[in-house]
Amino acid sequence: MKSRNPSTKKPGANDTDLATNLGDFLCFAVYASNLAFNRVYKPLFAELGLTYSQYAALVALKEEDGPTVSQLGKKLFLESSTLTPLLKRMEASGYVTRQRNPSDEREVRITLTDAGHGVFEKAFCGRNRVIAATGLTPDEFTRLQRDLVKLRNNLLKASQAGDA
């Protein structure tokens, strides 16, 4: 079967009008792009002993230090069952502290340590390599990031509507 050029398809077109080639699926393009990002980040994170999720947590904590595990999980789109082991590993590495709220033992606040601030600075400096690897102009980079956030928000809204 001959592949159709995905750029000739209209958004919202009938499913029968859409090609069924893997390369024509937006979800696969996003998935494969994530894998490519991980390949570019891998040497930097290996050098620092971080995972991408730990890096994202460092960035979120640098933005707002001292959130609860629940608040951090919402920001990172991670369940506490995934986030808690990640934070325990970061605590063991000396990057964060976890403190229970004395008035509510269920609430745990996360703060960056000096070592956490240091590894953040090293990782964040490597970000320029990743941005350059995208090959996008600053305007293209900003537009793509904005469009992906819009896509994510729309998908989350649609998935929550399906849960209701």
Based on the number of CB atoms within 10 Å of its own CB, is 98 exposed (0-12), middle (13-18) or buried (19 or more)? middle
Q: Residue 98: its pLDDT value, please?
A: 96
**97 vs 2 pLDDT, higher one:** 97
In sequence order, the 6+-apart residues with CB closer than 8 A to the CB of 151 are 30
Element (H, E) at 100: strand 96-101
**150 vs 80 pLDDT, higher one:** 150
Give 108's strand partners.
100
The C-alpha atoms of residue 78 and residue 51 are separated, in whole angstroms, by 14
pLDDT digits (tens, 9 = 90+) for 86-123: 999 999 999 999 999 888 888 999 999 999 999 999 99
The pTM of this model reads: 0.81
Pick from 76, 115, 108: which is nearest to 92 by CA?
115
Q: Residue 1: its pLDDT value, please?
A: 46
pLDDT digits (tens, 9 = 90+) for 6-55: 455 555 555 556 678 998 999 999 999 999 999 999 999 999 999 999 99
The C-alpha atoms of residue 77 and residue 71 are separated, in whole angstroms, by 10
pLDDT digits (tens, 9 = 90+) for 131-160: 999 999 999 999 999 999 999 999 999 999
Residue 3 — pLDDT band, cuts 50, 70, 90?
A: very low
Sequence letter at residue 79: E
Q: Residue 16: its pLDDT value, please?
A: 53
